[in-house]
Amino acid sequence: MRKRYEIVRTTLERPLERPLERPLVSNGYTLETTPERLGWLEPTDPNLPMKQLRERYRADGYLWLKGFFDREVVLDFRRFFFATITAGGVQAFFEVVKSPEYERFCAMPRLWDFYRAFMPGRPYLHKRKLIRFNYPGEHNCTGGHYDLIYLRAGTDRLYTSWIPFGDIPVEMGGLIYLEHSDAVGRQMEEEFRMKNADLPPEERINAYNRNMRENGWVSANLVDMANRFDSRWLIADYQAGDMMIHSPFMIHAATVNNVSSGEIRLSTDIRFQRADDPTDPRWASDWTPGDNL
Ligand SMILES: O=C(O)CCC(=O)C(=O)O
């Protein structure tokens, strides 16, 4: 029998904010567009008092901070990325990941001052930072997962910043979130913790151990997930300058880039925690291909 997960609804049901230009497809599954299965993320003003931002984050499992960064700074990084890739080919991708320009972007006082106040405490940024780019029509995209699956060897007081490098309208395949799934992720993780208890320590924290699913994902079938948890996928038209923050238990995924303009979807995801909480040592080095995380 299927497990029932309690999902508390705290936001009003709203119709879609605009008609979709294309169906949303993720790993071969086309998302349902009924109001019970698809909705829009709620934007938040980053200038609200910290107390309100924290309450919202706790209630929703995410914050969509509109216009958090200076748009031009973000677009500058996008230009740097494509100039580097154009000059050096795809091998240059990991040069960008290790570049001073990317370090500088991630070291921006705007970001660190925010986390210092939001946590509150001295922030620590995991060195393993990811940049993702997706060509239109590329079939594979991020399956449904929550981040702690890959980060089990430290604290669970983690904050992921997902930052679009450019405008990412829904049809370009930005991040989507399963509404109120922070509670689902917590319950699943508790179940994995119990199942993993008998495994050797390095296996216990592994996203690919015998108790986990392919790629560490909860599922690649987002349609089934929304039905199973009786929830909605929340979508958004992201703009350069926005920043998402999500909890390590919040389930999210992506859809295929399906824009006709040929534009590439470019984003980064980086993770903060308090400097005095335990860190996962596997995330203390630059992201490299095949680092098995
Ligand atoms: O950008 C993506 O496709 C995935 C990002 C992600 O999983 C994250 O930000 O945690």
What digits encode the pLDDT tens for the residues 112-169?
A: 999 999 999 999 999 999 999 999 989 989 999 999 999 999 999 999 999 999 999 9
Cα distance between residue 219 and residue 143, in whole Å: 6
Cβ–ligand 1 distance for 132 under 6 Å, the answer: yes
Nearest to residue 69, comparing CAs of 103, 112, 22? 112
Share of the chain above pLDDT 70, in %: 94
- In this prediction, residue 236 has a pLDDT band, given cuts at 50, 70 and 90, of very high
Q: Is the pLDDT of residue 15 over 70?
A: no
pLDDT of residue 202: 87
pLDDT of residue 218: 86
Nearest CA to ligand 1 atom 3: 142
CB contact set of 113 (below 8 Å; sequence gap of 6+): none
Each residue's pLDDT tens digit, 242-283: 999 999 999 999 999 999 999 999 999 999 999 999 999 999
Distance 94 CA to ligand 1 centre (A): 17
Q: At what angle do helices 109-118 and 50-60 cross, to 10 degrees?
A: 80
Cβ–ligand 1 distance for 160 under 6 Å, the answer: yes
Find the mean pLDDT for residues 101-110: 98
Q: Is the pLDDT of residue 203 over 90?
A: no
Distance 260 CA to ligand 1 centre (A): 23
Mean pLDDT across the chain: 92
Cβ–ligand 1 distance for 235 under 6 Å, the answer: no
Largest Cα separation within the chain, whole Å, is 55
Nearest CA to ligand 1 atom 5: 269
Distance 209 CA to ligand 1 centre (A): 21
Q: Is the pLDDT of residue 219 over 80?
A: yes
pTM, whole model, 2 decimals? 0.93
Amino acid at 17: E
Cβ–ligand 1 distance for 138 under 6 Å, the answer: no
Phi (first) and psi of residue 5, to 5 degrees: -110, 135
Cβ–ligand 1 distance for 27 under 6 Å, the answer: no
Q: Is the pLDDT of residue 16 over 90?
A: no
Point out the ligand 1 atom lying closest to the alpha carbon of residue 161.
9
Beta-bridge partner residues of 168: 238
- In this prediction, residue 48 has a pLDDT band, given cuts at 50, 70 and 90, of very high
Nearest to residue 236, comparing CAs of 168, 136, 134, 158? 168
Each residue's pLDDT tens digit, 77-86: 999 999 999 9
